[in-house]
């Protein structure tokens, strides 16, 4: 059965779609996937054993995105099933242009006009549940059991215990805790773990600041990987960690996919909808605020108290509560 899947754009969202993809492979015997998505989502998910084709969606760069979407659809041809996890007009158009009869997307004005199945799915539930509700809408056999996150990038093995620190968050500064506090947490455990600093190409400044603070605290057993890894290398290195301390971010979900014990620091986002899914050892550190969750990229009140008020001691205590 040929299935077209349009993946979410963000790394974390793409990882949170993996239980839905595993369910599609289980409830549709003989499934063969074609993935379309952003560079990061394709890099993370293209290793699925049932993926026959993985295509980076570059239609946004074309002079006419509408024409580029039409041309891509005609190159792909029709499928037995096509599903988009994006709530976006051009994704609905792509599915329609392929000529596929059974097309799925979350209910919206454009999906209702263009596609065959557009269920109304509550956004007031974990994003993993939203994706699986969509994927299983036509499966009468689905028993309601949702699996854990799953990535097929082979984990890197380490001979020493590693503490991963991820201070970035691509969405915006409002989701980021502070470099000096991350460094204080690293310093508290540097005798037990070697430290890996993670971050994307645009997050090297933050990681460099953590490194400077670590140095000032006499900590030298760290490696700064920020801006130096591909998506696959990011996944393999996170998988090698014995402990992960992170903001709400894509790497946080990668850690969950590999069951890495994690302390996640949440500020302006909806933790009930985007927390780690089914990680046996996962703790959230957050402060309840009148203004949260604001879901803004930058603090609209300019005080950022939802993150600024969280202390290094609180995160250290959360790590100790994991009993690892």
Residue 127: exposed, middle, or buried by beta-carbon count in 10 A (0-12, 13-18, 19+)?
Answer: buried
List helix spans (H) across the chain: 11-16, 18-27, 39-45, 65-76, 89-97, 109-114, 127-135, 179-189, 204-216, 231-239, 250-257, 271-274, 305-308, 312-321
Q: Where are the domains positioned within the chain?
A: 2-135, 162-321
| pLDDT confidence of residue 42 | 98
| pLDDT confidence of residue 268 | 86
| pLDDT confidence of residue 36 | 98
Contacts made by residues 215-218, CB under 8 angstroms, sequence distance 24+: 216/183, 217/183, 217/184, 217/187, 218/187
Instruction: Answer yes or no: are the C-beta atoms of 216 and 29 closer than 8 Å.
Output: no
| pLDDT confidence of residue 130 | 98
Tens of pLDDT along the chain (324 residues) come to: 999 999 999 999 999 999 999 999 999 999 999 999 999 999 999 999 999 999 999 999 999 999 999 999 999 999 999 999 999 999 999 999 999 999 999 999 999 999 999 999 999 999 999 999 999 998 888 999 999 999 999 998 899 999 999 997 666 687 789 999 999 999 999 999 999 999 999 999 999 999 999 999 999 999 999 999 999 999 999 999 999 999 999 999 999 999 999 999 998 888 999 999 999 999 999 998 889 888 798 888 887 889 999 999 999 999 999 999
**Tokens representing residue 239 in the block:** 């998988």
CATH of region 162-321, choose from 3.40.50.2000, 3.40.50.10470, 3.90.1170.50, 3.20.20.70: 3.40.50.2000
| Domain 162-321 in the same topology as domain 2-135 | yes
Q: CATH fold of 2-135, please? A: Rossmann fold (3.40.50)
Centroid of chain to Cα 267: 17
Q: How far apart are CA 46 and CA 67, in angstroms?
A: 26
| pLDDT confidence of residue 171 | 66
| pLDDT confidence of residue 93 | 98
């Amino acid at each position: 059965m040929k299935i077209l899947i349009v993946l979410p754009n963000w790394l974390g969202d793409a990882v949170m779609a993996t239980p839905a993809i595993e369910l599609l492979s289980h409830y549709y015997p003989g499934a063969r996937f074609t993935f379309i998505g952003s560079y990061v989502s394709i890099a993370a998910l293209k290793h699925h054993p049932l993926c026959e084709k993985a295509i980076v969606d570059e239609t946004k760069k074309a002079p006419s995105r509408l024409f580029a979407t039409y041309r891509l659809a005609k190159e792909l041809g029709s499928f037995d099933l096509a599903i988009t996890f994006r709530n976006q007009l051009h994704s609905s158009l792509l599915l329609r242009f392929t000529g596929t009869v059974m097309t799925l997307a979350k209910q919206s004005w454009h999906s209702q006009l263009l596609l065959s199945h557009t269920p109304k799915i509550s956004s007031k539930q974990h994003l993993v549940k939203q994706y699986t509700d969509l994927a299983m809408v036509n499966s009468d056999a689905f028993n309601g059991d949702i699996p854990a996150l799953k990535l097929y990038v082979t984990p890197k093995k380490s001979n020493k215990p590693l503490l991963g620190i991820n201070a970035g968050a691509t969405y915006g500064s409002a989701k980021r805790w502070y470099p000096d506090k991350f460094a204080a947490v690293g310093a508290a455990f540097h005798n037990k773990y070697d430290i890996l600093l993670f971050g994307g190409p645009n997050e090297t400044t933050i990681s460099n600041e953590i490194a400077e603070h670590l140095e000032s605290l006499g900590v030298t057993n760290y490696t700064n990987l920020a801006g130096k890894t591909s998506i696959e290398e990011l996944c393999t290195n996170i998988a090698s960690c014995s402990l992960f301390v992170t903001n709400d971010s894509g790497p946080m979900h990668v850690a969950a996919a590999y069951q890495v014990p994690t302390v996640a620091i949440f500020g302006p986002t909806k933790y009930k909808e985007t927390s780690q899914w089914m990680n046996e050892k996962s703790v959230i550190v957050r402060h309840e605020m009148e203004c949260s969750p604001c879901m803004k990229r930058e603090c609209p009140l300019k005080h950022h108290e939802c993150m600024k008020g969280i202390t290094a001691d609180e995160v250290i205590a959360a790590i100790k509560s994991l009993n690892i």
